Structure 1
Amino acid sequence: MSKPDEAGQRPDTPHYESATGGWGSLKGVARVLADQRPTFGAFRTLMRQNKPGGHMCTSCAWTKPAQPHLFEFCENGAKATIWDLTRDRCTPDVLAAHSVTELRSLSDHELEEMGRLTHPMRYDAASDRYVETTWDEAFAGIGAKLRQLDPKSTVFYMSGKASLETAYLYALFARLYGHNNLPDSSNMCHETTSVGLEKVIGVGVGTCILSDFDHCDLILFFGQNTGTNSPRFLHTLKAAKERGCKVVTFNPIRERGLVEFADPQDPAQMTVTPATPISDIYLQVRPGGDIAVLAGLCKRVLELDAERGGSILDRAFIAKHTTGLDELEARLRGVFWEEIEKESGLRREELHEVAEIYATSKNVIGIYGMGLTQHVRGWLNLAMLVNLLLLRGNIGREGAGISPVRGHSNVQGQRTVGITEKPKNVPMDKLRELFGFEPPQEEGRSTVDLVEGLLDGSVRGFISLGGNLARAIPDRVRAERAWQGLDLNVQIATKLNRSHLLPGRATWLLPCLVRAEEDRQAMGPQVVTMEDMLSMIHGSLGKREPASPHLKSEVAIVAGIAMATLPPNPKVKWDEWTGNYGLIRNLIEATYPDKFRNFNGRLFTPGGFYKGNEARNREWKTESGKAQFTAPEVMTSLGKPPKGEEITLITLRSNDQFNTTIYGFSDRLRGLSGPRDIVLINPEEMQRRGLAEGQVVTLECAVEDGTERVVRGLRIVPYDLPDACVAAYYPEANPLIPVGYHDELSKTPAYKGVPVRIRPDGAGA
């Protein structure tokens, strides 16, 4: 193994030598500007982005500060806005020139590059093409099909970009229609948070707010790539580092955003001043090894407390606010350091050093991403992180807490206002009172349940409000075949994507506004709202001219389908709500009065208004009424640890990507570029397995359930990874993820920990 450089990077594998941000970030934005040729006024939109009274970015869910920077957008936020405001148009004439079969030969990037959808379209099976229709025809046709179907055989999916107003009406529509089948993108990434944190601290979201980062002494990162997934967060980290906060990172890959950052808005740092180092310690944990890491840290903190006369633990907090510490201590006494080292891939001395820093830090924030949630025992990963924080009272006080980093800009907020398959999380009594109907009480389908329903034929109708779900799900190849057997497939979207090319017996493609565009309704331009990952609510006002006069808002589309489907109800006023979104916010406030008090009066509060959090106030809505310590039964989050020739697969998103949207083919921050059909593996693992750089291989899923799952034609790239794992891009590697291989409690697919075998192309499979 080659010796790492000063930054800890192996020089014999691809890597990015510059800091995150800096000139590289500006060049990335410039490239997308040149490629997309956005409409006039795009720069003015960026200048309003993430500012009070402005337009809220549709990219990540990082919070919006009360005192924004001059440029309050990051590279990926700029890409998302520019991508939305492209001059290219996917008109009826463009679609008429291509059969759906022909369109399937295009890449994800090529499909979206066709531009903005401009007219409502209907799939015509005879010509295998999308043909223009009218909104009235579309709504009437969809409504007729929904009335023919058993409501429980339909699923209403929602992407994490849609507004709180849209989400509330969509959830109401589903329940008036007769089901709770309301999965959203959270099911595939942070449902583990919703379920796991609720189990141990009583709330399914993080406990931190932005000001906590002004007072923390230590930040622990687990399984999160800030530089690509939420780059504006780097400004907060930079400020914390400059006042002396320490950062320790546990992640299989050395992501540049957590190594060093050059602020593009700091002239000195863009010219002569060195970049800001972010992580004081960066440990490349083996995939599935976070439980062992956290067990080791907890074990050592308990040892230090014993060695130092009981001065380390916050015993007053533990006695008053927690339960289960005795069981945790007993379990950790039986865990030997040799097992911790084996499962984590780290040395005892490294964990001892981090434990010492933790034990001597007053205020600590634990941050995590999908590297913790997307495992078979993802819930236990989170419970173990909570264990560590509870030992020193680091939940429920200023400068401390747990903070999951969410993806889509409003994915957390949609859950807040009713997008959930779990009726226990919705105030059904309020809905009954407000709208005069009996809400369904049967638990609905999650995304995993949707895929299983597609495969067994029990799902017959599907509406997708945004997103590219067919591309994002596990068992993708099997599900794509089943998708085309649906009786109804409705796709509400802004650009063409792979999900639109799997038409069922009746299929509609309905184009909507993007958030940056003016949403003009009967009562004038409308404001929409969203909730960020720190539980702050923000208003957003679009100003750009819509890409087509034929576009409708997501609110208007949901209302149009609902009116065509449901019988009249004097308490359900779709037309009035569509004309004035303030009326929808009144309904949200009436349904959730504790979270949305004076909703309309606080739309443009600088920095947003806080919806509140019981655990932050040390009110524990758990079964015991206290925060729960959890004794781990196992030291790995992998459901099936690899054995023999097997190896663990983790899936990645590139720097030129947001979820399934591929902006280009540069993974600059990892030193990679070009085609995405690659598999990353460290040089020593390559040598042990007789593999060569550039060799073309097949990955084969090693979960034995009677189904063959393979991805062929992947090129070997040596990379700085731990032993016993490989990495490949999402969504290209999704066919390898079994739909039944998911978190035990939340059903979040285990995208970060599936056992696979590597075969020379053409061999084995």
Structure 2
Amino acid sequence: MEPAVTDHVEIKKYNHPTGGWGSLKSLIRNARDQGLLLSDIWSTLLKQNKADGYMCVSCSWAKPAKPRPFEFCENGAKATMWEQTRKRCEPSFFAAHSLTELLDWPDHDLEEQGRLTEPMRYNSTTDKYEPVAWPDAFGDIGAQLRRLEPNSVVFYTSGRASLEASFMYQLFARIYGSSNLPDSSNMCHESTSVGLPESIGSPVGTVQLEDFAKADMMFFFGHNTGVTAPRLLHPIEDARQRGVPIITFNPLRERGLVRFKNPQNPVEMLSPGPGTKMSSDFFQVRAGGDIAAMTGIAKAVLALDDAARERGANRVLDTAFIAEHTAGFVEFEAYLRATDWESIVRRSGISRADLEHVAEIYSLANAVIGNYGMGLTQHRHGTENVQMLCNLLLMRGNVGKPGAGVSPLRGHSNVQGQRTVGISEKPELVPLDKFQEFYGFEPPREKGLDTVETCEGVIDGRVHGFVGLGGNFVRAVPETGLVEKAWRNLDLHVEVATKLNRSHLIPGKVTYLLPCLSRLEKDVQASGPQWLSIEDSTACIHGSFGSRPKPSEHLLSEPSIVAELAKATVAGKSSVPWDDWVADYSRIRDEIERCFPAHFKDFNKRFLTPGGFHRDIKASKRVWQTPNKKANFKLPTTLEADPDIDISGKNVLTLTTVRSNDQFNTTVYGYRDRLRGIIGTRMVLLMNEEDIRRMGLSEGQEVDLETHADDGVERRVRGLRVTPYSIPIGNCAGYYPELNPLVPLWHRAHKAHVPAAKSVPVRLIS
């Protein structure tokens, strides 16, 4: 694959705020590149995240009941423009290019070809995709699936599919006989889904949008808000203007939580100032040092409580809450007292004085939100990271009250919602008995494959078929080299997509590329124009209505494609009325309500309410759905989030992977990471200047990077440009997905199997 660089490379420090004129210029540039500068895309953006419009296809941040005039951010607008481009990837393109040739194209250039327009089938003789009629495609895919053992077929879902499509898709897989329903959560927030139920009895967070206006302090751990959830910057800015402390821990000093200039505030835009200071304190914790940092804060809080008790003052701990609502505090207290400060400081990279300073601020706050991203979850002990944050909040009763709670900041737009309606490889999380009763089939009861297990199954030959509902699976997963090599042995490879990506270029023995509508586009079925529904990261359900024209007359909606695949594969094996459901999506929502009544009561009546409706998250009401009916303090087993990596060798560093502000997940919009000052390339290695000097390197020098592991597998990425950056000594950073080949499959969260991409041992080769 060609390196992700352009003819002009420029790297310089960026000291401007997030947002501001840089954000507006970026949108104009993007609109021009997609042929949309003078189009009606601007009026479409006015409907983004509005009650009568469509949910953003980018991140999953909350959609307010009273939206701003422009309820979109830079990255959300880029996602809309990228998908609504005037460019078309038609059959003539595939006739001109073999898949072998296209494999050398960068990710950006593949998606830059525009929207897919017709269903395609791979011809191994010509090494090219060729157009195929929809009925022929469905018929052949169904025949291929019927030849395969169901437990050898994986049904993957990216985070963009609607609740309606996701519900139908998982039913199709289960009727077929497969529990293999991994999704993009397996690669990012599965540590949340495993850790939070043990701590508070809920797989999702407890915070709603209105809590941000009531909080009097916030934590941020391991989250690049300015890139992955920019609309969240608005409530943070409001909080800062009220004087609310924002305490941030992250290895890189990301601009979004440093300074922000609101593009929707004309006075602020025209003022010469640097914008709002977003973090009152910003600590550059060493990669994997979050357990240690949180242990230090908790230990200092305990010391403040000791001092208050000695003085006869009000306790710092919420002793009434701890006594009534929690279990395990005695053991947690003993852990804190036994853990020495020297170990805490050494592992976290943060001084005792700084951690005690944070504890003092925390002890004075009454309502505190703990926000976090993949900087906590993507570690070997990612689950313990999540649980340690819960411990910190529970110490002062900061779960289940207004303005407080645990707030996992999810990534893709409906990644949380698809889990809610049954996309899961874990049978205990799905109402299988209801499926059996309602639809007349016997669902498989065994655990299915998650994402990492799917990769292992592809490599060792257990997986024979793969159906992908969106996403760029092969590019997004770790161990890219081994996975790509083995992928060609699949008997069947089917992808449902809007645009071309690298995963589509690695065929199995039978391979289909099926183009679908975006949720931005008008979806007209037998009963008329259809609404879809999406769940945001605060567990609110919203309606989404597309109004854009179809890019091609040949495109089908995701529910239509799922229904046709099911009819071709499992006809007569259930009572599911696929055609009736596709004719009127409200019938699908009725079925979702019937199968999941606790969360979807009066679904069709409520989902179009401005602001949506909130799922019944018991932990937000201090009802703990844990085995002991308590919120639980969970002891970490180590201060090391990644204790089994060795970085003691020569030229060895700990790598953390990052995203550019010109990308979303594997989709690369361009080569302008404005917020880091990196223009024209993605092949960089961000390093501390001391490490550069210690290793005898120089700025701009090209190096190769290898995984520091002796397991017989060579993992190397070549041609990375050494770039000085503000990052802790011993750490380095580079872009995802370019550095995915360096992440071994075995380097994953112990309980959750999330790839530990935020703390990878690597060695430099110059």
TM range (shorter): over 0.9
Question: Corresponding residue for 1:131?
Answer: 130
What displacement does 1:459 show? 0.2
Q: Which amino acid aligns with 1:413?
A: G
Give the Å deviation of 1:14.
Answer: 4.1
SS at match of 2:369: strand
Which amino acid is the alignment partner of residue 586 of structure 2? Answer: G
Q: Which residue of 2 aligns with 1:113?
A: 112
- SS of the counterpart of 1:270? helix
Contact kept? 2:122, 2:512, Cα under 8 Å: yes
Q: Is the partner of 2:141 in helix, strand or coil?
A: helix
Secondary structure at 1:434's aligned position in 2?
helix
Structure 1 partner of 2:649: 644
TM-score, normalization: structure 2? Answer: 0.97
2:238 aligned with 1:232, yes or no? Answer: no
Structure-to-structure mapping, 1:208-357, within 5 angstroms: 208-272=207-271, 274=273, 275-309=275-309, 311-357=315-361
Q: Separation in 2 of the partners of 1:144 and 1:251? A: 50
Aligned: 1:701 with 2:710: no
- In the alignment, the residues of structure 2 paired with residue 482 and residue 594 of structure 1 have an alpha-carbon distance, to the nearest angstrom, of 42
Tell me by how many angstroms 1:567 deviates: 3.0
- Deviation (angstroms), 1:633: 2.2
SS of 2:717's equivalent in the other structure is strand
Residue aligned with 1:674, SS? strand
> Matched residues in 2 for 1:143 and 1:52: separation?
38
| CA distance in 2 between partners of 1:293 and 1:558 (Å) | 46
Contact 2:684 2:720 in 1 (8 A): yes
Any conservation in 2 of the 1:14–1:719 contact (CA below 8 Å)?
Answer: no
Residue among 746, 759, 764 paired with 1:758: 764
Distance 1:44 1:183 in 2: 36
CA shift, 1:273, in A, is: 6.3
Task: Give the deviation of 1:328 after TM superposition.
Answer: 1.1
Q: Deviations over 1:67-124 (max 9, x none)?
A: 1010111000000000111111011111111111111111100001111000000000
Kindly indicate whether residue 746 of structure 2 is the aligned counterpart of residue 740 of structure 1: yes
Q: Paired residue for 1:498, among 481, 496, 502?
A: 502
Matched with 1:26 is 24
Q: 1:684 aligns with which of 654, 674, 690?
A: 690
Deviations, residues 424-475 of structure 1 (Å, cap 9, x unaligned): 0011111111101111110000000000001000000000110111100000
Counterpart check, 1:76 vs 2:80: no
Q: Contact 2:286–2:347 at 8 Å: present in 1 too?
A: yes
Distance in 1 (CA, whole Å) between partners of 2:523 and 2:102 is: 31
3-state SS, counterpart of residue 265 of structure 2: coil
Between the aligned partners of 2:88 and 2:544, the Cα distance in structure 1 is 25
Structure 1, unmatched stretches of 5+, are 1-12, 761-765
**Aligned residue for 1:664?**
670
Residue 641 of structure 1 deviates from its aligned partner by 4.5
Aligned-partner residue type, residue 406 of structure 1? R
Q: Structure 2 vs 1, CA of residues 273 and 364 (structure 1 numbering), >3 Å: closer, same or farther? A: farther
Aligned to 1:480: 484
CA distance in 2 between counterparts of 1:536 and 1:25 reads: 28
* SS of aligned partner of 2:212: helix
Whether contact under 8 Å (1:585, 1:599) holds in the other structure is: yes
Q: Which runs of 4+ in 1 moved over 3 A?
A: none
State the partner residue of 1:169: 168
Residue 402 of structure 2 aligns with which residue?
398
What does 1:235-634 align with in structure 2 at a 5 Å threshold? 235-272=234-271, 274=273, 275-309=275-309, 311-569=315-573, 571-634=575-638
State which drifts further: 152-161 or 595-604.
595-604
Give the distance between the partners of 1:603 and 1:296, measured in 2 at CA: 43
Amino acid at match of 1:710: R
SS in 1 for 2:361: helix
Question: After the TM superposition, which residues 6-25 of structure 1 pair with which residues of structure 2 at under 5 Å, given as runs?
Answer: 14-25=12-23
Q: What secondary structure, in the 3-state scheme, does the structure 1 residue paired with 2:223 have?
A: coil
Matches of 2:589 and 2:40 in 1, distance apart? 29
Q: Deviations over 1:708-761 (max 9, x none)?
A: 11111111111110011110100000000001110011000001011111111x
Aligned to 1:9: none
Which residue of 2 is the match for residue 205 of structure 1? 204
Please state how far the C-alpha of 1:65 moved relative to its aligned partner.
0.6
Q: Determine helix, strand or coil for the equivalent of 2:448.
A: coil
**Deviations 1:251-275 (Å, cap 9, x if unpaired)?**
0011111011111110110011631
Query: Which whole-Å CA distance do the structure 2 matches of 1:142 and 1:633 have between them?
Result: 48
- Secondary structure class of the residue paired with 2:466: strand
Distance 1:320 1:16 in 2: 49
Check the 8 A contact 1:650/1:754 in 2, yes or no: yes
Letter of the 2:340 counterpart: F
Candidates 713, 717, 737, aligned match of 1:731: 737
Please say if residues 378 and 743 of structure 1, whose CA atoms lie closer than 8 Å, have aligned partners that are also in contact.
yes
Q: Does 1:719 align with 2:717?
A: no
One-letter amino acid of the counterpart of residue 718, structure 2:
R
Aligned length: 748
Matched residue SS, 1:490: strand
* Alpha-carbon distance in structure 1 between the residues aligned to 2:19 and 2:654: 31
Q: CA deviation at 1:569?
A: 4.5
Mapped contact 1:421–1:444 kept (Cα < 8 A) = yes
> Is contact 2:370–2:406 with CA below 8 Å preserved after alignment?
yes
Residue type at the aligned position of 1:497: N
Quote the Cα distance in structure 2 between the aligned partners of 1:727 and 1:308: 42
What secondary structure does 2:682 align onto? coil
> In the alignment, is the contact (CA less than 8 A) between 1:341 and 1:348 conserved in 2?
yes
TM-superposed deviation, 1:680: 0.6
Question: Which stretch has the larger CA shift, 110-119 or 598-607?
Answer: 598-607
Q: Is the 8 A contact 2:441 2:573 kept in 1?
A: no
| Deviation at residue 178 of structure 1 after TM alignment | 0.5
Distance 2:441 2:646 in 1: 49
**Which residue does 2:4 correspond to in 1?**
none
Contact 2:90–2:116 (Cα < 8 Å) also in 1: yes
**Contact 1:179/1:442, CA 8 A, preserved across alignment:** no
How many angstroms apart in 2 are the aligned matches of 1:742 and 1:117?
34
Q: Which consecutive unaligned segments of at least 5 residues does structure 2 have?
A: 1-10
Contact 2:671 2:680 in 1 (8 A): yes
Maintained 8 Å contact 2:441/2:574 = no
Query: Cα deviations across residues 505-538 of structure 1 (Å, max 9, x unaligned)?
Result: 0000000001110011111111000000000000
- Secondary structure class of the residue paired with 2:764: strand
* RMSD (CA atoms): 1.0
Task: Give distance in 1, aligned partners of 2:741 and 2:231.
Answer: 32
Q: What is the identity, as a one-letter code, of the residue corresponding to 1:75?
A: E
Percent identity over the alignment is 54
Secondary structure of the residue aligned to 1:308 is: helix
1:62 is aligned to 2:57: no
Is the 1:696–1:716 contact (alpha carbons within 8 Å) kept by the matching residues of 2? yes
Structure 2: distance between partners of 1:173 and 1:396: 37
SS in 1 for 2:729: coil
SS in structure 1 at match of 2:370: strand
Farther off after superposition, 751-760 or 13-22: 13-22
CA distance in 1 between partners of 2:328 and 2:12 (Å): 46
Check whether the contact 2:175–2:573 (CA below 8 A) recurs between aligned residues: no
Q: CA offsets per residue over residues 193-216 of structure 1, 9 Å max, x none?
A: 111111111111110001111111
Report the 3-state secondary structure (helix = DSSP H, G, I; strand = E; otherwise coil) of the residue aligned with 1:728.
strand
Give, in whole Å, the separation in 1 of the partners of 2:248 and 2:573. 54
Give how far 1:694 is off.
1.1
Deviation at 1:329, TM superposition (A): 1.2
TM-score, normalised to structure 1, is 0.97
Instruction: State the AA in 2 paired with 1:141.
Output: D
Offset of residue 603 of structure 1 = 2.3
Distance, in Å, in 2 between the alignment partners of 1:494 and 1:631 is 45
Aligned to 1:5: none
CA-to-aligned-CA distance 1:350-369 (integer Å, 9 cap, x gap): 00100000011111000000
Residue matched to 1:763 = none
8 Å Cα contact 1:168/1:588 also seen in 2: yes
